[in-house]
Amino acid sequence: MRKRMLYVLLALVAVACSHDTIETNAHTNNNTGRTLVVYYSFTNNVRTIVGELTKQIDADILEVQPAEEGLDYAANNYKIGSALISAIRNNPNSPDSYPAIKPTDVDVAQYDNIIIATPLWWSQMAAPMQTYLFNNATKLSGKHVALIVSSASSNINSVVADAERLVPHATWMGQPLWINNNNRSRTATLLTQWIATLDFQSSTNTSSMYITINNQTHNITLVDNQATQQLVAKLQEGPINVILNTNADFEIWGPLGFSLPMSNEHINAQPGDVVLYNGSNICIFYDTNSWNYTRLGHIDGMTESQLRTFLHAGESNIQVTLSLSSTPSAIKSVATDAAKSAYYTPDGRKVANPLHGIHIIDGKKVLL
């Protein structure tokens, strides 16, 4: 799978909103999924862009605000702002490198699309926005994300690179929009043209599945590709049960029992990543590994230690259930063939020659 470049859409804010509240505008747009605009603005240029953006699309707005108020990042030739950027650049993997921001109470999981709007500081993404993305990378996995960058004249390539580094598992839904001093007077037109190019995720699309091991269930946020589309289609017939085994102390893996379309890329897999290997094997990582895979998704909200426990790292014959429901045994409906209805066990396995016992047929439990 060719990885879609996740370009963070610089979230634009119309008017000042508090750090823990959401503003909703009443305008309509072409997308049917729910959209959140996340923005940071120091000089008010991004805030102005967000104001125009929210005249054109229906979206909730979240403003990122530094924890320490009143700092003049531009004073003394951007001395404070430059120091913050340098700290991140020197150690980008350490939480201590990122400046504190005010807490937010916004549940990103309820949104299909995220637009991130940010200014450029010394060729990099503004430090407070980097903090927000660093803190929320897991929650943004699998989301459709777009990026708007505001600068005076500097090129935004490094800001785009920051976005890709900070949110590596998002689905970028378009090219980043660059608004600078040369085109700022045409902001409204640029936004209209740019919005028309975005691949907004519809809320009717399935972007998650569930994994259950020993009665513990967690959400997997799926990327959008042919493999996951066909996987979801199979899961709509019922849960899929697989037996996985530990491999090399970094993953559990095993055959799905069917093949899915491959779109391989060289992936530096991280704990929680779920990938397709050789078209018919599923791999779930609790440590890191680099290889050619087709990306499927990412297990949400678990540390490496928690993943090792949940995935029974080091063990063999691990029974895993994949489903579209957080309660996979509760089958509500089953796809049927026009000529012959299929039988399923209560845990979702298709049965060609059902024996005595309880089975599911046409969405109803029957006793044979």
Q: Are residues 65 and 133 in the same domain?
A: yes
Q: pLDDT tens digits, residue range 245-257? A: 999 999 999 999 9
Paired tokens of 200:
């907004």
Last residue of a domain, one of 165, 195, 225: 195
We report the CATH number of the domain holding residue 309 as 2.40.100.20
Q: Are residues 276 and 167 in the same domain?
A: no
Q: Are residues 303 and 339 in the same domain?
A: no
Q: Are residues 318 and 338 in the same domain?
A: no
Q: pLDDT tens digits, residue range 337-362? A: 333 456 555 555 555 556 555 555 55
- What domain range includes position 363? 331-368
* E strands in 144-186: 144-150, 171-172, 177-179
Task: Report how far residue 295's alpha carbon sits from residue 225's, in angstroms, rounded to the nearest whole number.
Answer: 9
Q: Are residues 336 and 304 in the same domain?
A: no
Task: Report how far residue 213's alpha carbon sits from residue 309's, in angstroms, rounded to the nearest whole number.
Answer: 10
Q: Are residues 189 and 41 in the same domain?
A: yes
Q: What is the DSSP letter of 259?
A: -
Task: Report how far residue 187's alpha carbon sits from residue 191's, in angstroms, rounded to the nearest whole number.
Answer: 6
Residue 318 lies in a domain: yes
Q: pLDDT tens digits, residue range 200-222? A: 876 544 578 999 999 999 999 99
Mean pLDDT over 148-159 rounds to 94
pTM: 0.55
How many Cα atoms are found within 13 Å in the side-chain-facing hemisphere of 34? 9
* Mean pLDDT computed over every residue of the chain: 82
Mean pLDDT over 268-297 rounds to 96
Residue 272 lies in a domain: yes
What is the structure's pLDDT at 351? 58
Which of 16-20, 112-116, 354-358: highest mean pLDDT? Answer: 112-116
Q: Are residues 266 and 161 in the same domain?
A: no
Residue 3 lies in a domain: no
Residue 127 lies in a domain: yes
Q: Are residues 299 and 343 in the same domain?
A: no
Q: Are residues 171 and 79 in the same domain?
A: yes
The number of folded domains in the chain is: 3
Q: Are residues 37 and 180 in the same domain?
A: yes
Q: Are residues 345 and 317 in the same domain?
A: no
Helix, strand, coil: what percent of the chain each, to 5? 20, 30, 50
Q: Are residues 56 and 180 in the same domain?
A: yes
Which of 4-8, 231-235, 249-253: highest mean pLDDT? Answer: 249-253
